[in-house]
Structure formats: C-alpha cells, structure tokens
Structure 1
C-alpha cells in the first residue's frame, strides 16, 4: 500500500548571520551573486557553527537547521520535541513559508494554517470578528465559507463577549484561544501548532488537544505539534521527531522519541550519571545510575498519577570499607524549579550501612504528582558528611491517572503545582 505523503522536507538547512539583519554586508551579497553567476555554490554555506546556544562559537554564521529530512502522511500527528534553541520554531516557520530555507525544499499538498506565536497573523487594530475573516482570506477561503464557520469559531474560542473589540485589548490567553479556533475551524489540510498552547489555561488546552485529535482522526487532516509537555505529546501524537542543535537526532515512535528526549535532558545519553561533573560532595561514595521502574519492574520515564513507582539508585564507593550512618534524600522539583516532594532520609532517624557497591530501592506506593514534567535530585551523606549531591539526576514526565477512586483528582490549572494525598473524613452531628 503506497503512502499518502502530504508534507515532505528535503535537506532543509537555515543559516543566520549573528548580530546582523538580513544576509549581512553588501560585499557578502555581491560575493554570493558572483558565485551564482558562475554556477558555483554559495561560499558562505561552507562556514558556520552548529546551533548550540550554550557555547560562544568561532564563526559569525550559525546553522539554525542542518539537513532536516522527514515525511508526514495524511492524518498523522507529528510531535516535534527538543530543548529551547534546538531549531523547532525555525523549522515550523519554514514549513509555514514565513521564512525561506537556505538550502533544501518543502513539498506540501494543500493549505497550511499556522499558530506560531501569540498574535502572529492578527491585526491588533481590527476586532476579533474582522481578524477571523482576514485569516480566512489569507488561507484562500471565500467570505461565504468563512461566514459558515463563524459561529463555531466564536463559540470554541470562548471570546464571544469581546469578539467586536480590537484584538490589541485581548489578553495573550484570549488571543491564543481565538487564533487556535480560526486555524482549526477554517479547515486547512495541514495545521502547524507551536508551544503557544501553553499560554492558554488548562480548560482550553484540553479542548485544543481534543479538537486536534478530531481533526486528525475524524477528518483525516495533518497536525504538526511542538510542545515541552511530554504528556500532551504522548496523548496526541502518532509519530515524533527529536531535535538537538538544529538537527534531527531521532525519528519514529512517539514513546521512544519522548524517552530519547528525556534521556538527553537527564544527561544519560551523552554522559552517564557516574560521569556528571556538576555534583557536590566528597565523592567516596557516588551515585552511578538511576532507574525509575513501574509496578512490572520495567524502566520508564513517563509515570502515571496514583500508580506504584520504584526508583533504583545505584552507588559505588572508591574504597572497600563499610560506610556507616548513611542517609539518602530524594527530592522532586517541577518545571519552575520548586521542590514539591522531599524525602529527607530513609525512615525517620534511621540510617543505613553501605558497602562497596549496590542499589538502594526507593518505593513510592502511590504517586501523588499531577500531570507535568519533573526533575529528580539525589543527596547522599555518610556520618553527617556529604558524599554525593546531584541536582539534575533525571528528568521525567507524569500523565494523569486515578488517585481518588471515582472522583476528579485535582482542579483544572493545578498541573505540576500541587501534590495529592490520602485521607479519610467523617461527619459528626451535634
């Protein structure tokens, strides 16, 4: 059975000159023109640093994207994930024809609607209603076609009271609501969504994800989705690519892609935990590996609220002696770097003895975390002396599960900001 390819990226690369607007100097433009006239390659394509925002670099040119190749079939939802600065937004701008690639080409079949940044494509002086018609016209739709969808767009956006108010007076959340509704209901063949959904509240994010699922599964249209919310990516996407420093480093199954991305962020892919330099302590005993297991003892990095979780912490010592009065602390912080779970030691005022090497099994019987991304921090001491302290030991993601039987787990908008707890209650009448 032949593939129904609706979007294809071939050898896409994008080069920028740092600190400059446009391509740079008149000398460089003339040089490019002279090489093109003689049928030769652009000379500035041979120079340039990799897109790594954390390093200074040696060239005034940088490759935001390098040799990007992928295909998307009709009805697929492609998740594009990666760190900040990996090139995700640049790629979407090229796919949306907002900017042109330096090399390579994009082949697409059908209209592309994009939701890239808050307010992109909206005229602040025009009302919400006028902007709906403006965006529809940009997509090539007639006034009659847009009018037939107008009521659905307004209702979905939840901005009916302000629909005849200039958009410049909208909040960022209202702007995103209206922009998404326009992009989704004007029936493009390809819908491109950047991280902007994070601006909306929890209720709208749920509605938006549900609409994107309807678009792809029910209507057979294609969605490209960029997000740092791994639970949303897993729920929505049928395929994933992981980007790092302007390159695609993984393409395939969504779950495998998420695990690959999380392993990059926790330094487990390029650097083993035992080789992490950013740690504190004397170092006679070191943490060499950390694994999170589910109730079936299978290693995972996407956990579920309410389920049993086992954290295996492997250690080694550089001596053969026995270390007495050891204590282990495990802390979990959210994306805002706030600690929301903390175990100060293995049992109240209880100590353990550690030998040459082994594994400490840390069990959470019922995971109380709400849906979000989290970081694991580990602290190990012996006889009140810090031995090893790793602040960024492991990055993992939690998706919704059942914590309270038959009841809503937590209010909307509290994802990643709170924890759940067991309790009982009784009513005593006077």
Structure 2
C-alpha cells in the first residue's frame, strides 16, 4: 500500500474575539516577524484548546503538533469530544483552511463533505447543484453527466431534483451532497459528522457505500462521527483527538473507543452522575442526577451481581410540560454496541407516571439475570418525541458505568463468562 496522506508537525491557531492584537505596534511586530519568516511572537502565548476552562490568552491551538500517515485504502475513524479539533483537521486536509505551522502532503484528489449544503447554491435546483457541486469537487461535466442518474438514484430525491434546494430539508441536503461526493472518482473521501442529519436508513446506506469505496475500490476514507457503532463496524483504524492533540491512533479500534469513553467522554466510572455545573440545560428539561440504586434505596458504586435487583433513577427539573416529552436511558456494551434504549414509548399509566412541572424523580427496575458478565455504559437520553432531541444518543451525554460479575446462573457447568452479550436464565419444562 502506498502512502496517500502525510502530516508533519501540523498546528492550527485561532484568535478569539476581535482580530488583531489590540495595538498598532503589536500588529506591526507580528507583520515584521512574518516578513522575515520568523515565528509569530504572539503564538508563543497560545493555549491548549480546552473549551471547559477559561483561558488567559485570546489565542488557542485548535490543533497542536499533529503527526500521522494514512495508507491507500485505509478507513480511519476520527473521534473525540466536541472541540477536540476533528473538524478543523478535516478542513486543513481538505485545504479549506491552511495550517499555522507544519505541512500536509496529499497524494490524489479529495472529495469532502464537511457541512450541510457545502458547495450548494440555495436558489439553484438539485440538478443544477449536482453539476455545480461536482465541478467544485473537481469532476468534469462529462463525468457528472455519466454519473448523474446514479447520483440521483442513490440520493433518493428524484422527485425534487428540479426544485430549488432552498426548499429541501437538511436531510435531503445531506443525501444529495453525499451522493455527489461519494460518486466522485477521487482517491480520498473525507466525511464529517453531517451524516447524523440523515435518517437511519440513509446512514446505513452511506456506511455501505463508504465500505464499497474503501474495500472494493481501494480508496481512502476519513470519517468523523460520534456514532461509535458506525466507527467500529466501518473503520479499520481510529484516531482519538483530545484538546487538539492526538491521544491515540492505531488499528485496535475497540480499544481506542474504550479509551475515549472511559477518559474523555462524560462517563463517570461509578454508578452516579450529578449535574454539578448546571450543564445540559434545556427549555423543557434539565437533568439533576442519574444513578444506580439497590432495593434498599442506596446508591451503589458500579459493580453488581447478575442476579442482584437494581434500579435506574433519573432526577430532573421539568420546566414545561409537553405530551411528547420522553426521558430514559440507552445501554451499551464494552464495544459500544447498543443493547437497547428505553423511555416511555408505552405511554400509559401502567408504564409511565404522571409528570409535573418542577423536580421529578423517575425510577425503573433494571432487568436482572439477563446481561452477561462485563462492563456496560448507561447513557441518559431525552427528547420531544419526533420533534427534537434534548439529550441525543451518542452525543456526549451524561453516562454512568455498570459492571456485572458473577451470579451467571445456578448451573454448575458454567464457571467462567458465558459466550454472547446476554446470559439469561431460561426455564425449561418437559412437555
């Protein structure tokens, strides 16, 4: 395999607030340093891009000392918290912005999809924008014409192809933009997390297409996503960014994802999460506490037996009552596979209590003797059903850890962890 991307000592600095240093003399000092080919003197005081802390400098390093190589045909998943530098890195690789220091060497043509509607003109129709966007991405008119029907068919917007795209939904925008980028005969395909806008069926279709592009056609794909299941299933390599620097990169995708979820996600390594800084506030709901308790109403650490009775408890402040309001949790295993999620889809008095404005505490029994031994992540989720996410799954939501051990069954045959994700105790009778 030949190398198609080589990044050496890449850094990207941004200035917060107004441009300029604040004084004419300092602006001239910066200009004179640039003329002489010297380092910008004000970059020396730049700080790490940690969005959670208040800095002392108005210059931050969105990327700092990035070094990596990508081989032809690699599918690389790029993960990290919001503000870690993922989108900035893709913009530098796509030549949308230039690095402050360092170099990027790319071999081959790049097709990138970084933001919803990138390269689209709202007044033009879908048909016209296919030709416009294709030209921006480097396709010749004959190439676009040859692939036009395939692009439209993949996008699923054939009925609206002669309608101005300003009347498209964000999902239709992404469908069309991805179809153009994916069908461009480029050596490198760069996709930011815009695919999250599409529905589940289209996301699955996109992942399949990216798999064909990478494995079948030998093209290189860089994919940023907060969907850990998609990263696991599609990518052979992963890169974890933290505060603008590469924390880990390698072929063990599951290990890198576990490192991210354990160290940098909003996951507590115990059975209780508390909203100490009043974050995650929404006009409808603000979570206060999310925890695992036992049948004596005591909070537990995180480790339980398979047959132990436990409950998941959610406390939050409801600011406005809405019949579409839902809250619950999503359960993931150690490989970030979604086991299930629950909230009041069974909307009746037998399954869901009556909510009131103000503080509400909700409790549900966790199914015992069902899951296998192992470590699980429980993520808080909430929404206005079919209208908007308040706490969307996979978006760095508050999460707690549950570790199940022992208590596998009453059978003397199993003295170690049973195979599979689940290990239910199932009763048999002779008929």
TM-score range (shorter-chain normalised) is 0.5 to 0.7
| Cα distance change of structure 1 residues 262 and 148 upon mapping to structure 2, 3 Å threshold | same
Measure the CA separation in 2 of the matches of 1:25 and 1:132.
Answer: 47
Which residue of structure 2 aligns with residue 394 of structure 1? 401
Which residue of structure 1 aligns with residue 94 of structure 2? 96
Aligned counterpart in structure 1 of residue 28 of structure 2, from 27, 30, 34 = 30
Aligned counterpart in structure 2 of residue 340 of structure 1, from 339, 343, 358 = 343
Alignment pair present for 1:375 and 2:379: yes
- Alignment check: 8 A CA contact 1:265 1:395 kept: no
CA drift of 1:6 comes to 0.6
SS in structure 1 of the partner of residue 42 of structure 2: helix
Aligned counterpart in structure 2 of residue 126 of structure 1, from 113, 120, 124 = 124
1:289-331 CA distances to partner (integer Å, 9 max, x unpaired)? 549xxxxxxxxxxxxxxxxxx7799xxxxxxxxxxxxx74235
TM-score, normalisation: structure 2? 0.67
Aligned counterpart in structure 2 of residue 136 of structure 1, from 116, 134, 137 = 134
TM-score, normalisation: structure 1? 0.67
Measure the CA separation in 2 of the matches of 1:133 and 1:266.
Answer: 41
| Cα distance change of structure 1 residues 260 and 94 upon mapping to structure 2, 3 Å threshold | same
CA drift of 1:138 comes to 1.9
SS in structure 1 of the partner of residue 343 of structure 2: strand
CA drift of 1:230 comes to 0.6
Which residue of structure 1 aligns with residue 312 of structure 2? 330
Q: Which runs of 4+ in 1 moved over 6 A?
A: 22-25, 274-281, 310-313
| Cα distance change of structure 1 residues 23 and 171 upon mapping to structure 2, 3 Å threshold | farther
- Alignment check: 8 A CA contact 2:66 2:245 kept: yes
CA drift of 1:45 comes to 2.0
| Cα distance change of structure 1 residues 24 and 79 upon mapping to structure 2, 3 Å threshold | farther
| Cα distance change of structure 1 residues 395 and 60 upon mapping to structure 2, 3 Å threshold | farther
| Cα distance change of structure 1 residues 266 and 185 upon mapping to structure 2, 3 Å threshold | closer
- Alignment check: 8 A CA contact 1:116 1:194 kept: yes
Measure the CA separation in 2 of the matches of 1:346 and 1:145.
Answer: 56
| Cα distance change of structure 1 residues 64 and 395 upon mapping to structure 2, 3 Å threshold | farther
Measure the CA separation in 1 of the matches of 2:301 and 2:271.
Answer: 4
For 1:51-200, list aligned pairs within 5 A. 51-200=49-198
Alignment pair present for 1:260 and 2:252: no
Alignment pair present for 1:16 and 2:22: no
For 1:279-358, list aligned pairs within 5 A. 287-290=300-303, 328-330=310-312, 333-334=329-330, 340=343, 344=364
CA drift of 1:109 comes to 0.8
Which residue of structure 2 aligns with residue 388 of structure 1? none
- Alignment check: 8 A CA contact 1:82 1:88 kept: yes
Measure the CA separation in 1 of the matches of 2:69 and 2:121.
Answer: 33
- Alignment check: 8 A CA contact 1:273 1:288 kept: yes
Which residue of structure 1 aligns with residue 232 of structure 2? 234
Measure the CA separation in 1 of the matches of 2:105 and 2:302.
Answer: 44
Measure the CA separation in 1 of the matches of 2:78 and 2:366.
Answer: 40
Aligned counterpart in structure 1 of residue 370 of structure 2, from 361, 364, 369 = 364
For 1:198-277, list aligned pairs within 5 A. 198-252=196-250, 253-265=252-264, 273=270
CA drift of 1:344 comes to 4.6
Structure 2: gaps spanning 5 or more residues: 277-288, 292-297, 314-327, 332-340, 345-361, 382-397, 404-431
CA drift of 1:39 comes to 4.3
| Cα distance change of structure 1 residues 181 and 21 upon mapping to structure 2, 3 Å threshold | farther
Which residue of structure 2 aligns with residue 46 of structure 1? 44
Measure the CA separation in 2 of the matches of 1:272 and 1:94.
Answer: 35
Measure the CA separation in 2 of the matches of 1:109 and 1:23.
Answer: 37
CA drift of 1:395 comes to 9.1
1:17-67 CA distances to partner (integer Å, 9 max, x unpaired)? 111257876554422221234443211221122111111111111111111
CA drift of 1:202 comes to 1.0
| Cα distance change of structure 1 residues 287 and 58 upon mapping to structure 2, 3 Å threshold | farther
SS in structure 2 of the partner of residue 251 of structure 1: strand
Which residue of structure 2 aligns with residue 350 of structure 1? none
Measure the CA separation in 1 of the matches of 2:97 and 2:23.
Answer: 20
Measure the CA separation in 2 of the matches of 1:166 and 1:18.
Answer: 36
Measure the CA separation in 2 of the matches of 1:246 and 1:312.
Answer: 44
- Alignment check: 8 A CA contact 2:312 2:366 kept: no
